[in-house]
């Protein structure tokens, strides 16, 4: 993957027939559905079958398993994500045929022409914040369009074509995609170094966010006052004329301030203060970080001058997105059926995200233990942050580490999940268990031998570790009462 350069785009209804390479991804599938909804002939392929491919097919979108240049027959525009390698046979064929080749960010930008674009960016929290914002605006009668990185738990969809003028997008910084969008309201949840395989240095990464927040069409910036990188950006933006900066967080000087936090269990509560106005915020999703995400979404709602009570009511009904502290199963074991094992899944793949997810899980675990099963994502990220990953995992009572999900990257000699497991061993307090299970296929059985009645198990990572929770639930069910 490399940094993207912005390109000129034309309206989506002028691009002709479109083929999506990697259409089964959460982000790509949402964009494909959007193009289909506006009447564009859409097709796509992915390397393996999935429920997403089957859902797209049921909606009338032509899908295929595997990559074949024949898929490009009759196609005018090819859309790719950064996860697709340049040696993909379909990309090579598209170049040979002189087809229009767009990165997914350009395909998205074509849908945003003449819209009020709210771009939600940040190292952490952008999926949930953009999801909260989309649900909130819909409840307020705005009927926004949105494309976010994970399906809403309530609907199973990650995109929607609304009739209103507002367009909400989860703006990915990893490859510079967020610079492509014609942003009017920019949200920055955090600026903590990541994706340095693309950006090179933390300074370049932070500069990318500065360019995002100072884009030519930006009129308002909603930004986290608690996270140091975002706060530095907010301070730099204060002197920019013609741009409203609204800070949020627990900091005393935050414009939209969170106080009186209640973080127990799997819910969250806090008081929101903006000027002389005060409201009580209630969430069904746990964690301090989700209260901050909700504050960011609420801040956008106030900039759009929407009814605060409607906004708060919709936030109270928000049930999350898939793979964000998602309950996978609950199994009562025969030995103590009144103390079931709860299994959650979370997308956390950065040390800060890992620490936040496990911190929320600690408050929700009750009298049992917290068992964390972590799959590192990307060789470059594991090499850069193995020590921090190991330290974060020690929040759990039992930490299980498997090998790396490489995604778009080739293996790096000497970089394996063992780096994280060894770091966890170094940071572990007496009584904390650390296990290294290199083969992810062995994880369900290994976890089944480790868990006890009342435990909270959480699988974590951006790869295919998400498959482990359901498999574990089935294994444990064999030990449950009839």
- Kindly name the residue from 52, 63, 77, 127 that is annotated as catalytic: 127
Is 1 a member of any domain? no
Say yes or no: 134 and 269 in one domain.
yes
Is 60 a member of any domain? yes
Q: Flag whether 320 is marked binding.
A: no
- What CA dihedral angle connects 150, 223, 83 and 109, to 10 degrees? 90
Q: Flag whether 259 is marked binding.
A: no
- Confirm whether 278 is a catalytic residue: no
Say yes or no: 397 and 420 in one domain.
yes
- Confirm whether 170 is a catalytic residue: yes
Say yes or no: 160 and 297 in one domain.
yes
Say yes or no: 282 and 386 in one domain.
no
- For residues 116-126, average pLDDT: 96
Q: What is the pLDDT of residues 220-261, one digit of tens each?
A: 999 999 999 999 999 999 878 889 999 999 999 999 999 999
Rounded to the nearest integer, the mean pLDDT of the chain is 93
CATH code of the domain in which 194 resides: 3.40.1190.10
Q: Is the pLDDT of residue 482 over 90?
A: no
Give CB contacts under 8 A, 24+ apart, made by 37-40: 37/161, 38/12, 38/13, 38/111, 38/161, 39/13, 40/12, 40/13, 40/15, 40/16
- Kindly name the residue from 33, 63, 129, 170 that is annotated as catalytic: 170
- For residues 384-388, average pLDDT: 96
Q: Flag whether 128 is marked binding.
A: yes
- For residues 363-382, average pLDDT: 95
Say yes or no: 142 and 254 in one domain.
yes
Say yes or no: 413 and 292 in one domain.
no
- For residues 437-449, average pLDDT: 97
Is 5 a member of any domain? no
Confidence of residue 480 (pLDDT cuts 50, 70, 90): low
**In total, how many domains does the chain have?**
3
Q: Flag whether 127 is marked binding.
A: yes
Where is the domain boundary, 317, 341, 356?
Answer: 317
- Confirm whether 126 is a catalytic residue: yes
Say yes or no: 147 and 169 in one domain.
yes
- Kindly name the residue from 126, 173, 183, 321 that is annotated as catalytic: 126
- Whether 362 and 264 have beta carbons less than 8 Å apart is answered as no
Where is the domain boundary, 74, 107, 140?
Answer: 107
Q: What is the pLDDT of residues 36-88, one digit of tens each?
A: 999 999 999 998 898 899 999 999 999 999 999 999 999 999 999 877 887 89
pLDDT at 384: 93
- Both tokens of 269, joined, read 């509560």
- The pairing of beta strand 277-283 with beta strand 268-274: antiparallel
- For residues 378-403, average pLDDT: 96
Q: Flag whether 124 is marked binding.
A: yes
Q: Which domain holds residue 222?
A: 112-317
- For residues 132-157, average pLDDT: 92
- For residues 458-479, average pLDDT: 93
Say yes or no: 65 and 146 in one domain.
no
Is 7 a member of any domain? no
CATH code of the domain in which 408 resides: 3.90.190.20
Element (DSSP H or E) covering residue 342:
strand 341-346
Say yes or no: 200 and 304 in one domain.
yes
């Amino acid at each position: 993957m490399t940094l993207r350069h912005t390109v000129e785009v034309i309206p989506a209804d002028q691009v002709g027939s479109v083929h999506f390479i990697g259409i089964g991804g959460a982000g790509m599938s949402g964009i494909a559905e959007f193009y289909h909804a506006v009447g564009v002939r859409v097709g796509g392929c992915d390397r393996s079958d999935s429920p997403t491919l089957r859902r797209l097919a049921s909606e009338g979108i032509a899908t295929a398993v595997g990559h074949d240049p024949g898929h490009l027959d009759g196609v005018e525009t090819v859309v790719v994500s950064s996860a697709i390698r340049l040696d993909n046979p379909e990309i090579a064929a598209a170049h040979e045929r002189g087809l229009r080749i767009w990165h997914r960010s350009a395909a998205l930008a074509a849908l945003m022409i003449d819209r009020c674009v709210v771009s939600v960016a940040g190292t952490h929290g952008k999926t949930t914040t953009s999801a909260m914002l989309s649900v909130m605006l819909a409840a307020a009668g705005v009927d926004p369009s949105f494309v976010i990185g994970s399906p809403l738990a309530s609907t199973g969809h990650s995109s929607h074509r609304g009739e209103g003028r507002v367009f909400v997008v989860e703006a990915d910084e990893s490859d510079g995609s967020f610079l492509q969008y014609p942003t009017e309201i920019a949200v920055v949840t955090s600026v903590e170094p990541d994706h340095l395989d693309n950006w090179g240095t933390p300074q370049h990464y932070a500069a990318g966010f500065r360019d995002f927040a100072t884009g030519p069409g930006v009129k308002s910036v909603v930004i986290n006052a608690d996270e140091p990188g975002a706060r530095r950006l907010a301070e730099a933006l204060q002197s920019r004329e013609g741009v409203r900066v609204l800070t949020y967080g627990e900091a005393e000087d935050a414009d939209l301030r969170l106080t009186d936090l209640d973080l127990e269990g799997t819910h969250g509560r806090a008081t929101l203060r903006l000027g002389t106005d005060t409201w009580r915020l209630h969430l069904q999703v746990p964690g301090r970080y989700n209260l901050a995400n909700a504050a960011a979404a609420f801040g956008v709602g106030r900039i759009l001058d929407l009814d605060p009570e409607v906004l708060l009511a919709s936030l109270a009904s928000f049930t999350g997105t898939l793979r964000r502290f998602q309950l996978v199963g609950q199994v009562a074991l025969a030995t103590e059926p009144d103390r079931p094992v709860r299994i959650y899944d979370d997308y956390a793949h950065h040390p800060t995200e890992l620490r936040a997810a496990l911190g929320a899980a600690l408050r929700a675990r009750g009298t049992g233990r917290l068992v964390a099963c972590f799959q590192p994502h990307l060789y470059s990220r594991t090499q850069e942050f193995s020590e921090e990953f190991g330290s974060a995992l020690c929040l759990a009572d039992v930490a299980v580490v498997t090998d790396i999900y490489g995604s778009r990257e080739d293996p790096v000699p000497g970089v394996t999940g063992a780096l994280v497991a060894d770091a966890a061993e170094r940071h572990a307090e007496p009584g904390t268990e650390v296990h290294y299970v290199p083969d992810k296929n062995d994880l369900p059985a290994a976890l089944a031998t480790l868990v006890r009645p009342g435990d909270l198990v959480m699988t974590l990572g951006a790869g295919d570790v998400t498959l482990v929770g359901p498999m574990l639930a089935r294994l444990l069910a064999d030990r449950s009462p009839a």
